[in-house]
Amino acid sequence: MEKLQALLPILNWGGDYRKDDFRADVIAGVVVLFITVPQVIAYAFLAGLPPEAGLHAALAALVAYAAFGSSRTLAVGPTAIIAMMTLEVASSFATPGTQDYATVTVKLGLVTGIVLLVLRLVNFGNVISFLSHAVVTGFITAAAILIITNQLPAVVGLSSSADTSVVGVLSYLSDNTVNVVALIVAATAIVLLVFCRLQMEKLLLSMGLGQVLASALARSAPMYVVIIGILVTAFLGLNETHQVPIVGTIPTALPGLALVPLSLTELRDLLPSALLIAMVIFMESASIGTAMASRRREKIQPNQELVGLSFSNMGASLVGGFPVAGSFARTVVNFSSGAHTQMASLITALLVLITLVGFAPLFYYLPKAVLSAIIVISAMQLIDITVIRKIFSFNSTDAVTFTFTFVAVLVLGVESGVIIGIVISFVLLIRSSSRPHIAVVGRVGDSEHFRNIRRHEVITSPSLLAVRIDESLYFVNTRYIETFLFNEVADKPDIKNVLLICTATNFIDASGLEMLEALCENLEEVGVTLHLAEVKGPVMDRLKETDFYHRMEGEVFFTTDLAFKKLAGI
Amino acid sequence: MEKLQALLPILNWGGDYRKDDFRADVIAGVVVLFITVPQVIAYAFLAGLPPEAGLHAALAALVAYAAFGSSRTLAVGPTAIIAMMTLEVASSFATPGTQDYATVTVKLGLVTGIVLLVLRLVNFGNVISFLSHAVVTGFITAAAILIITNQLPAVVGLSSSADTSVVGVLSYLSDNTVNVVALIVAATAIVLLVFCRLQMEKLLLSMGLGQVLASALARSAPMYVVIIGILVTAFLGLNETHQVPIVGTIPTALPGLALVPLSLTELRDLLPSALLIAMVIFMESASIGTAMASRRREKIQPNQELVGLSFSNMGASLVGGFPVAGSFARTVVNFSSGAHTQMASLITALLVLITLVGFAPLFYYLPKAVLSAIIVISAMQLIDITVIRKIFSFNSTDAVTFTFTFVAVLVLGVESGVIIGIVISFVLLIRSSSRPHIAVVGRVGDSEHFRNIRRHEVITSPSLLAVRIDESLYFVNTRYIETFLFNEVADKPDIKNVLLICTATNFIDASGLEMLEALCENLEEVGVTLHLAEVKGPVMDRLKETDFYHRMEGEVFFTTDLAFKKLAGI
């Protein structure tokens, strides 16, 4: 039973589910619907797909995640970033708008689902985050700019530009006649959305509404602009009198099974992109899920998240959708509307289904300019100046990584950009650990504390060189450390003992051991003895098995204090 | 003056050079000659080049390094590994034995010299060692096997095999008729070399000779087998009666300037291989140089080494030689024969020049089988079973890296093999730091020491979770750490304070900071406060500038002791 619960997290909360939980979940499920419908239609549009693709994907993803996901509040479905990545990948195989293109996105969803499951099998959830905060921020900021640029033609009532680069879109705009009415519609929608975002909650609160209700109503802004957009367009007949592009007919039907045959060649072609998309999906979803879970002392199982997201993507693909991820906006709404369990997502899914079957025709007059407005506002929210400023002020390595990723994504596209960012972040990481911080330390007064002689007033002895190496001893830094120590010893002929304080030495590899042996041997030739102190348990376990440990003349001290007393008498 | 001394280390010792130094250097210079001449002729043969290429390369390299190198005892010239790499690279451009082939090796030496100088300009000497001990050992062991295989045809009197893979050589051997006399010559030489290596020094000592002389005589073994080989072959006329291949005519002349024109295309073609060769040259030479220098409290400047090696390679190329490096065997002989300065190398160089001009014809009858014997014995000394055993017993990551590198070099060749080894070592490195060791700690008795609750009897409090994270906080491990802490807090509802002990946190990147912020905020939501202790100076400096530091409710404690007293009253 416990094993089954681990595989199907729905059983965890399904067992002791109460009336109270249901009441809370119903409220959250309904509230989330109002942001889900406009967003997923908009993101389908962003991905170059018809509205139903977004609704179908959301429906399947919500149900699959509810059964297999480990977060109780994550809302899964189409998101702006993943829609943008889908557009970039699928465009290189087919022309957006065609049936072939839709088929490619369905296959991409399937391959992404498969990749996520394979990542689960290799225990990826517990292994590495390849994407540093700087890479992610650079990538998301640049992707947001690409998304906004990509929507500019739709904002002014044009069809998409063939050249999706920033320069291409701008020249496309200048070469074509703008539909002023569409632009007015989009601009009005944007103003409304910004107003709701910034002022509506305060306004409602001042009118005496409760916090939860006011927040929920404010966050449903996309639904209002959709409704207003539909009504205005329908009554004024803007689509006919002023050629404002509209969404048109959405099939009023249950999603059918889209069982697309996937050839090995296609699998191979889609695999690299799917791997990158899967990593971004996992990274986004896991971080949102973890943040929400921790606020209620709930747990997230990273590997189970991979399963939940895998089935969500395969499910979305099965009903003709495209890749999905945990949505930040919808998850926050779900959480703050008080969702207790994934039952809330099931209710949202049910309501999406009802919308599909019963209300799809109502979206006929929805202007595409309104969808673009929703996308532009969502994308602008992805650009977080505070985070960027933090990256630049905190760590210069991260600033370099951010800049490279940002520029690379803008110039070369999302895929190449992210890969360049990942490579740079690792190169810089290794570079920094190759020149570790090394502190020569002394005793603070007559305490048991030892600090850097350059930063604190400390007591030292000319015959003892006590150094704390703030890094593990391994191949990228052994030569640097060795050179540092030899040069110190060569400069100070009084030194008789060298003490390495290993508080920050988390592991020693064969290069590190070799370095210690050479160090020990060569120092002994000139009458200097090497000692160690504060070696950590796991490191000591390995060290005890080596010849070096048994041959070394010096001692391994439990504490720096004992070493100073014995070696320097201070 | 000091600046000039840094650029031209010869000025360092040139100034206060004494009679005593000169006496020591002359002895060492002469002793080194006896091992240099046979070795460099043999390594030229290994590289697919005529004997004079080795002598010319050694001559130029010794002089150039004496002027520009920072080690006082390093002996530079052709080495087995670099000769093998030269053969592999140059063979892909031309057929060994042809003039074109010789030209390629000269160009390779030039490009390698340029690369070394560029590495100096980017401060590579102080930056990264890409090559872990496991990669180097795997590479050298496999290269030694390749060298031995490569020499088998020559040992049995055949010309080189066209297919240089292990399988290729073996099938070549079985397809051709062995020259039994050549095999006997080679076998006798091998037995003699092994005898000298293992027994001669003891024998001479027991005969009452001094340690230094006995050791020098024993190490000159290659010279004896060369002399014996020449005499036997000449007097018995083995080259004519039994077709034993001999070295033949070596031009009795000063090396001319080989000013080969290098096109941009050639530069580009040779660059990747030259980069790898340059890295191996630097790695080998710097480690030998450092080991020798440290035994006399002398210093090595890694960047100056790059300059010395760069000019050595360019010099070797200029006189028609091939890439050179610091030779382990010849450096040890130089050091143990008492060389004080690079004057010893200049004397060796002068004697090589005299050999070239005066004694080159004497090598006419030298059987190639003897050269092969010298190479085989040198290569066997590169295989160090003790080191391999150490790698396997100490660290499983290194064992994996060693095995992959070893197999890859054997199967795919030196270049691809080393690159695969480097990639694997970095991937494993990052993988291990993505799941850092995290210890929940408690107080040892009433001391100021805190240790892992799983390893020691310690005092803890149910309201305080004190963890020591044995790694820096950065993007590859933030999620792992975050998940660990949230799960601990979710499991133990009594926890009111979380203390992160940062003794091993050497840096925090933007992802780490983001994680700390999220951790702090989300823990506060559930009434748990996050505190830090023992934050290192450089880390604290950065942290103080952040909003996080000013906003966090918890404290930053100077020591874990203070934190335990305040937070848990224990």
Question: What number is the ipTM of this complex?
Answer: 0.72
> What pLDDT shows up at residue B79?
94
User: Does the distance separating the beta carbons of B479 and A302 come in below 8 Å?
Assistant: yes
User: What CATH code is carried by the domain that includes residue B499?
Assistant: 3.30.750.24
Question: Buried b / exposed e across B206-233, counting CB within 10 Å, b at 16+?
Answer: eeebeeeebbbbbbbbbbbbbeebbebb
- What gap in Å lies between CA B278 and CA A54, rounded to an integer? 55
- What gap in Å lies between CA B160 and CA A330, rounded to an integer? 71
- What gap in Å lies between CA A32 and CA A73, rounded to an integer? 11
Tokens encoding A322: 């495209």
Does the pLDDT of residue A188 top 80, yes or no? yes
> What pLDDT shows up at residue A465?
95
Q: Which residue has the tokens 């030259």?
A: B274
Pair (B281, B300) in one structural domain: yes
Final residue of a domain: which of B375, B403, B428? B428
Q: Work out the number of other CB atoms within 10 angstroms of the CB of residue A489.
A: 21
Mutate to test the interface with B, among A130, A451, A483 (most CBs of B within 10 A): A483
Kindly write down the DSSP assignment for every residue of A204-271, as one continuous string. Answer: HHHTT--HHHHHHHHHTHHHHHHHHHHHHHHHHTHHHHS---B------SPPPP------HHHHHHHH
Final residue of a domain: which of A428, A453, A473? A428
Pair (B353, B476) in one structural domain: no
Strand partners, B163: none
Over residues A363-396, the pLDDT tens digits come to 888 898 888 898 898 888 889 898 898 888 887 8
Please give the backbone phi and psi of residue A451, each rounded to the nearest 5 degrees, phi first: -135, 165
Cα A170 vs. chain centroid, distance in angstroms?
30
Pair (B393, B450) in one structural domain: no
> What pLDDT shows up at residue B78?
96
Mean pLDDT score, A351-357:
91
Top pLDDT among A53 and A127 is at A53
A135 contacts A401 by C-beta, under 8 angstroms: yes
User: Does the distance separating the beta carbons of A522 and B294 come in below 8 Å?
Assistant: yes
Does the pLDDT of residue B185 top 60, yes or no? yes
Residue range(s) defining the domain that contains residue A231 = 20-428
Residues 6 or more apart whose Cβ sits within 8 Å of residue A187: A155, A373
The 3-state DSSP class for residue B489 equals helix
- What gap in Å lies between CA B477 and CA B482, rounded to an integer? 9
Pair (B23, B102) in one structural domain: yes
> What pLDDT shows up at residue A128?
59
B74 contacts B110 by C-beta, under 8 angstroms: no
Q: Å from A106 to nearest chain B CA?
A: 31
Tokens encoding A250: 């959405």
A182 domain residue, yes or no: yes
Over residues A486-499, the pLDDT tens digits come to 888 988 989 999 99
User: Does the distance separating the beta carbons of B297 and A479 come in below 8 Å?
Assistant: no
Mean pLDDT score, A298-325:
90
- Whether the pTM exceeds 0.90: the reply is no
Over residues B550-561, the pLDDT tens digits come to 888 999 998 999
Q: Virtual CA dihedral for A486, A490, A495, A501, nearest 10 degrees?
A: -20
Over residues B77-102, the pLDDT tens digits come to 999 999 999 999 999 899 988 999 99
Pair (A346, A451) in one structural domain: no
> What pLDDT shows up at residue A532?
95
Band of residue B250 on the pLDDT scale cut at 50, 70, 90: confident
B433 domain residue, yes or no: no
> What pLDDT shows up at residue A245?
86
User: Does the distance separating the beta carbons of B290 and A490 come in below 8 Å?
Assistant: no
A5 domain residue, yes or no: no
Q: Å from B448 to nearest chain A CA?
A: 8
Which of B128, B387, B508 has its CB closest to that of A430?
B128
- What gap in Å lies between CA A16 and CA B222, rounded to an integer? 84
Which of A391, A425, A510 has its CB closest to that of B133?
A510
Q: In chain B, pLDDT over 70 holds for what percent of residues?
A: 96
Which of A128, A506, A526 has its CB closest to that of B471?
A506
Burial grade of B457 (CB within 10 A; 0-12, 13-18, 19 or more): exposed
The 3-state DSSP class for residue A413 equals coil
Mutate to test the interface with A, among B137, B392, B429 (most CBs of A within 10 A): B429
Pair (A398, A473) in one structural domain: no
> What pLDDT shows up at residue A6?
67
The 3-state DSSP class for residue A420 equals helix
- What gap in Å lies between CA A110 and CA B462, rounded to an integer? 47
The 3-state DSSP class for residue A337 equals coil
A555 contacts A531 by C-beta, under 8 angstroms: yes
Kindly write down the DSSP assignment for every residue of A126-154, as one continuous string. Answer: GS-----HHHHHHHHHHHHHHHHHHHHHH
Over residues B119-174, the pLDDT tens digits come to 998 877 765 567 788 888 898 899 899 889 888 888 887 877 667 677 777 888 77
> What pLDDT shows up at residue A126?
66
Q: In chain A, pLDDT over 70 holds for what percent of residues?
A: 96
Q: Work out the number of other CB atoms within 10 angstroms of the CB of residue B417.
A: 24
DSSP category for residue B246? B
Q: Work out the number of other CB atoms within 10 angstroms of the CB of residue A212.
A: 14
Pair (B480, B421) in one structural domain: no
Cα B120 vs. chain centroid, distance in angstroms?
17
B559, closest residue in chain A (CA to CA) = A449
Pair (A133, A41) in one structural domain: yes
> What pLDDT shows up at residue B263?
86
Final residue of a domain: which of B428, B456, B477? B428
Tell which residue, B72, B76, B90, has the closest CA to residue B24.
Answer: B72
Taking CA atoms, A181 is separated from A542, B169, B471, in Å, by 74, 80, 58
Kindly write down the DSSP assignment for every residue of A71-130, as one continuous string. Answer: -SS--EE--HHHHHHHHHHHHTTS-TTSHHHHHHHHHHHHHHHHHHHHHHHTTGGGS---
Residue A527 Ramachandran class (φ > 0 left, ψ -120 to 50 alpha, else beta): left
Average pLDDT of chain A is: 87
A2 domain residue, yes or no: no
Q: Work out the number of other CB atoms within 10 angstroms of the CB of residue B506.
A: 23
> What pLDDT shows up at residue A545?
86
A386, closest residue in chain B (CA to CA) = B547
Q: Work out the number of other CB atoms within 10 angstroms of the CB of residue A527.
A: 9
Pair (B373, B397) in one structural domain: yes
Task: Spell out which residues of chain A touch residue B559, defining contact as CB-CB under 8 Å.
Answer: 449
Does the pLDDT of residue A103 top 90, yes or no? yes
> What pLDDT shows up at residue B80?
92
Top pLDDT among A123 and B340 is at B340
> What pLDDT shows up at residue B432?
76
> What pLDDT shows up at residue B128?
59
Task: Spell out which residues of chain B touch residue A558, defining contact as CB-CB under 8 Å.
Answer: 449
Tell which residue, B521, B500, B519, has the closest CA to residue B511.
Answer: B519
Pair (B167, B91) in one structural domain: yes
What's the number of CA atoms in the CB half-sphere (13 Å) around residue B320? 16
Tokens encoding B493: 């509802």
Band of residue A124 on the pLDDT scale cut at 50, 70, 90: confident
A364 domain residue, yes or no: yes
Tell me the torsion sign for CA atoms B100, B104, B107, B109.
negative
Which of B132, B480, B482 has its CB closest to that of A509?
B132
Q: Which residue has the tokens 């023992």?
A: B534
User: Does the distance separating the beta carbons of A293 and B509 come in below 8 Å?
Assistant: no
A3 domain residue, yes or no: no
A177 domain residue, yes or no: yes
Domain count, chain A: 2
Pair (A227, A189) in one structural domain: yes
Q: Å from A397 to nearest chain B CA?
A: 8
Mean pLDDT score, B236-245:
82
Task: Spell out which residues of chain A touch residue B435, defining contact as CB-CB under 8 Å.
Answer: 126-127
**Range of lowest pLDDT (A508-517, B187-196, B247-256, B307-316):** B247-256
Which of B431, B506, B518 has its CB closest to that of A504?
B506
User: Does the distance separating the beta carbons of B475 and A300 come in below 8 Å?
Assistant: no
Pair (B393, B468) in one structural domain: no
B92 contacts B254 by C-beta, under 8 angstroms: no
User: Does the distance separating the beta carbons of B426 and A297 come in below 8 Å?
Assistant: no
Does the pLDDT of residue B1 top 60, yes or no? no
Burial grade of A400 (CB within 10 A; 0-12, 13-18, 19 or more): middle
Kindly write down the DSSP assignment for every residue of B375-444, as one continuous string. Answer: HHHHHHHH--HHHHHHHHHH-HHHHHHHHHHHHHHHHH-HHHHHHHHHHHHHHHHHHHHHS--EEEEEE-
The 3-state DSSP class for residue A532 equals strand
Over residues A494-550, the pLDDT tens digits come to 999 999 999 888 888 888 888 898 889 888 888 999 999 999 888 898 889 888 898
> What pLDDT shows up at residue B14?
67
Over residues B473-504, the pLDDT tens digits come to 888 888 889 888 988 898 898 999 999 999 88
Does the pLDDT of residue A48 top 70, yes or no? yes
* B398-B403-B406 Cα angle (round to 5): 120
Q: Work out the number of other CB atoms within 10 angstroms of the CB of residue A142.
A: 24
Tokens encoding A484: 């540092």
Q: In chain A, pLDDT over 90 holds for what percent of residues?
A: 32
Average pLDDT of chain B is: 87
A15 domain residue, yes or no: no
